[in-house]
Structure 1
Amino acid sequence: MSYSWLDEESTISLDRRANQKTPFYEPIVNTFKDGGYNPNVSYHYNPDVSKYHYGVRHPMKPFRLMLTDHLVIAYKLYEQMDIYQPRRATKEELLEFHSEDYIKFLESVTPDNAKKYAQHLRQFNIGDDCPVFDGMYDYSQIYAGASLDASRKLIAGMSDIAINWSGGLHHAKKHEPSGFCYVNDIVLSILNLLRVHPRVLYIDIDLHHGDGVQEAFYLTDRVMTVSFHKYDGEFFPGTGNHDEVGLGKGKHFALNVPLHDGIDDESYISLFKSIMEPVITNFRPTAIVQQCGADSLGCDRLGSFNLNIRAHGECVKFVKSFGIPMLVLGGGGYTPRNVSRLWCYETSVMTNVKLNSRLPEVLPFRTFFQPDYSLHPNLGDRYDNKNSKKYLENLRNQLLENLRYLRGAPSVEMQEIPPDLQNMTTDEEQEILDRLNRESEYDAHLDEKRYWLNTKDQARVSEQVD
């Protein structure tokens, strides 16, 4: 008889040495039900991103990314992925979406010189939500650079799924920060994907409406935005009702799913799948960007839903099952221990492995997860579910009715692929190619020289070598 190491009800207990040798995950049988395929997954993480600090009382805690990374390492998920430490985004790359005066402001302002920029602080919406803190511009470059790097791996075909948990800051606007977000890495990544992909689908399961991304692509039919979020007309950012559907060429290419407090696992999953399947079938995206904000979990510091980690992950798993290239990003989430649990679990979903619910003993900062030390604590039933079955059914019918106007996937004319966001001119690219050619010729010369020197060394005394 065999016993599964995942069986927490087992009466068998292992000693410390056996626990150290016990694997923390096992592969999932490759069936459609369990994910459909085994994608090549890449993980994009710059450890410097967790070193920044919005302020003592600010709910956004970048160190949640360090906790996530520790969990991923402790579970040895790195064995299932390609790991990249991306470079920072350049100023030129940020300017592909954001205005020059705004980026110049981010680059220049610091806590020490903020008084000199009093007028600009008002102009650029700097306040309690988006404070000036040490390294603010560097922090923005790091998380945006990771998302751009992930998008490049998808474009190059090096990855089927690319993950950047430090990204997903969906509120930032072209001219100003908003909702803890300074640079909109999602918009920058989608713009890069659009160089090659005719249609990109953006899915947002953060507690808050993905207003910055919707606004950026509100007038185009090449990007469809779908956001599941809390909405009552007052909750930040105050947008995202079901009647926001896009304008002009982009009309009916924005879909919003406004929800009330307390939605539970079953209701959320059922609604998500019933909407996303016809969206994907009709829009036929060639790439998907999914924002996985963790503030839609129960027990979040700013949240009011009742979702558990498995339910949130089920939404990601469902989208993955379509086998379309995916860029997977983080987002909100203000109870760091639960944020890291979620994103570690969703990393396992992407890599088709099942994790032991008991957190590894070797995990740094393990005390953050007491008293249960579990990957799946109960986070639900904190709030009354104010989403009646009638409300959800009417909402579903309204959204499906909106989808009828799509009339199939929009087509894109064949055209030359524009240069990527690295902003390299033709002359600069040619200069690099010329330098590489010169280096190659020099290497060939050295190889030939080494060959003849070696031949002379090996020649017999009686032989003559020119």
Structure 2
Amino acid sequence: MTKFHSDDYVRFLRSIRPDNMSEYNKQMQRFNVGEDCPVFDGLYEFCQLSSGGSVAAAVKLNKQASEICINWGGGLHHAKKSEASGFCYVNDIVLGILELLKYHQRVLYIDIDVHHGDGVEEAFYTTDRVMTVSFHKYGEYFPGTGDLRDIGAGKGKYYAVNIPLRDGMDDESYESIFVPIISKVMETFQPSAVVLQCGADSLTGDRLGCFNLTVRGHGKCVEFVKKYGLPFLMVGGGGYTIRNVSRCWTYETSVALGTEIANELPYNDYFEYFGPDFKLHISPSNMANQNTPEYLEKIKTRLFENLRMLPHAPGVQAQAIPEDAVNDSEDDEDKANPDERLTQAALDKRIAPDNEYSDSEDEGEGGRRDQRSFKGRKRPRLDKLDTKQEKQDVDDKVKLEDATKMDTKGESEKDDKTGITEDMKKDSGLNA
């Protein structure tokens, strides 16, 4: 975490708990923790999982072990170097991009959350190795940044791209601006890896959002970026109507995999949350789209002018590749001391076959907690069989099994007797 965040801030996150908050009043104010970033049990562990997921995904991409990696627990794009913000404590995206930069000269970051990706933009505002592109609601809206005129500074001038949008953005309008802008960015910047923040609060009906996108429209962004065939890291983000967040990221996982999934939701423990239609896809509302074609065209024209100012594909001086942030060796478990407990990271990497025991307390039919699987085999009732032949077959099968058992038992007893006799002979000296 300290690859980006300050040591003091990370130490604070590791130490703060709900039961000792009174001891950290000054630090809580300093690090902006306590209001929209509350303290909760397991806060530091959550930060570890979120950031570790994105860093480990970046290592996978760097090693070419995967073409696409997903961390739906990441995407916390508001967190700053020494400050929490907007429900975000540790910026896993920045940490993941820093890891990608060890192997990739240029990394493209795209943000389709309804809120501006201010934390990521700020982290790379003065570099030409990362281009940040954010599509977001702009105006009197959190975090209040992301103006069209915010374009980066120093070496990073024109490498920050902001698309400020208005309420009611629908699928058609979003696609009309997303596709041409990303196409131009790809042509000009020529990244060798892409990170896409898939915040689901840009969906219609979100409690904190104000756009009107459907799951399918949101997923078209994933589909379009995937077509470029670059190393691709997908992360989560915002989303405050939970049933739609799960719909969205389920669908986008299928898009990443290139797999079609049915609109009818399968029955599961949370099935009732998806009523009354119990469908994967959602319909847009009747809210007005304030993003007129003229307004969107004006944004595109301005951004294309900025992109023309960029040198094509800036070069980077060759340097030694730093050590990976995460040891992702596949044979770690084989080399591990069998007398030592595996780390949580090693356990998480294990893949259990379908027929292997697990620790689940609620396994269903056929599971190890299904008492029926421990009952002995019962002989079928003969009165339930339809024909004489079926009855005869059952009788023959049972007789054969009984005969086999008797033969086995006889052999075992014979061996035992033989063994005792030989021992007795040795003890008595008869073989001398």
Verify same fold: TM over 0.5: yes
- Distance of 1:114 and 1:309 partners within structure 2: 40
Query: Contact 1:298 / 1:382 at 8 angstroms: preserved in 2?
Result: no
Q: Is the 8 A contact 1:263 1:306 kept in 2?
A: yes
User: How far apart, CA to CA, are the structure 2 residues paired with 1:248 and 1:271?
Assistant: 27
Q: Are residues 1:267 and 2:185 paired?
A: no
- 1:407 maps to which of 294, 308, 311: 311
Identity of aligned residues (%): 56
Residues 308-365 of structure 1, C-alpha deviation per residue, up to 9 Å, x if partnerless? 000000011000001111000000000000000000000010111111100013x221
Q: State the match for 2:112 in structure 1.
A: 205
Paired residue for 1:191?
A: 98
Q: Secondary structure at the match of 2:19?
A: coil
Aligned match for 1:241, one of 147, 152, 167: 147
The answer to whether the aligner puts 1:397 opposite 2:301 as a matched pair is yes
Q: 1:155 corresponds to which residue? A: 62
Check the 8 A contact 1:206/1:292 in 2, yes or no. Answer: yes
Please tell me whether the aligned partners of residues 59 and 326 of structure 2 are also in contact (alpha carbons under 8 angstroms): no
Among 117, 124, 134, the alignment partner of 1:217 is 124
Q: Does 1:303 align with 2:209?
A: yes
**Cα distance 1:129–1:438, how it changes in 2: closer, same or farther (>3 A)?**
closer
Counterpart of 2:247 in structure 1: which amino acid? Answer: R
In 2, Cα distance between the equivalents of 1:248 and 1:302? 35
1:374 aligned partner: 279
Shift in alpha-carbon separation, 1:100–1:382, aligned structure 2, 3 A? farther
Kept after mapping to 2: 8 A contact 1:299/1:382: no
| TM, length-normalised to structure 2 | 0.75
Question: Residue 405 of structure 1: SS of its match in structure 2?
Answer: coil
1:348 to 254, 260, 276: 254
Partner of 1:338: 244
Cα 1:414–1:373 shift into 2, 3 Å: same
Partner of 1:135: 42
Answer yes or no: is the 8 Å Cα contact 1:295–1:333 preserved in 2.
Answer: yes
Is the 8 Å Cα contact of residues 205 and 285 (structure 2) preserved in structure 1? no
Q: Secondary structure at the match of 2:260?
A: strand
Superimposed CA distance per residue, residues 373-395 of structure 1 (whole angstroms, 9 cap, x where no aligned partner): 000021x2342111111111101
Post-superposition CA distance 1:384-416 (Å, at most 9, x none) = 111111111101111111110112011011121
Match of 2:79 among 160, 172, 194: 172
Shift of 1:422: 4.1
Residues 117, 134 of structure 2: 8 Å contact kept: yes
Q: Is the 8 A contact 2:59 2:325 kept in 1?
A: no
SS of the residue aligned with 1:354?
coil
Question: In the aligned structure 1, how far is the partner of 2:231 from the partner of 2:26?
Answer: 44
| Alignment of structure 1 residues 315-464 onto 2, 5 Å | 315-361=221-267, 363-378=268-283, 380-422=284-326
- Cα deviation digits, residues 143-172 of structure 1 (max 9, x gap): 111111111110111100001111000000
Amino acid at match of 2:234: V
Amino acid at match of 1:241: D
Aligned 8 A contact 1:306 1:381 in 2: yes
Deviations 1:14-73 (A, max 9, x none): xxxxxxxxxxxxxxxxxxxxxxxxxxxxxxxxxxxxxxxxxxxxxxxxxxxxxxxxxxxx
How has the CA–CA distance of structure 1 residues 250 and 369 changed in structure 2, closer, same or farther, with 3 Å as cutoff?
same
SS at match of 2:306: helix
Residue 222 of structure 2: SS of its match in structure 1? helix
SS in 2 for 1:149: helix
**Helix, strand or coil: the match of 1:203?**
strand
**Contact 1:289/1:328, CA 8 A, preserved across alignment:** yes
**Alpha-carbon separation, structure 2, partners of 1:165 and 1:196:** 23
1:221 Cα deviation after fit: 0.2
Q: Is the 8 A contact 2:56 2:326 kept in 1?
A: no
User: C-alpha distance in 1, partners of 2:22/2:64?
Assistant: 47
Helix, strand or coil for the counterpart of 1:258?
strand
1:146 paired residue number: 53
Per-residue deviation, residues 203-244 of structure 1 (Å, max 9, x unmatched): 000000000000000010000000000001x21000001101
Q: Which residue of 1 aligns with 2:185?
A: 279
Which of the pair has the greater relative contact order for Cα pairs under 8 Å at 6+ separation? 1
Is contact 1:165-1:330 (8 Å) kept?
Answer: yes
Find the counterpart in structure 1 of residue 160 from structure 2.
254
Please, what is the CA RMSD of the aligned residues?
2.1
Q: What TM-score comes out, normalization by structure 1 length?
A: 0.70
The structure that has the greater radius of gyration is 2
What are the Cα deviations for residues 419-446 of structure 1, in whole angstroms up to 9, with x where unaligned?
222499xxxx9xx99xx7999xxxxxxx
Please list every run of 5 or more consecutive structure 2 residues that lacks an aligned counterpart in the other structure.
339-432
d(CA) in 2 for partners of 1:348, 1:236? 31
Letter in 1 for 2:62: I
Q: What CA distance in whole angstroms lies between the structure 1 residues aligned with 2:176 and 2:255?
A: 19
Aligned partner of residue 328 in structure 1, secondary structure? strand
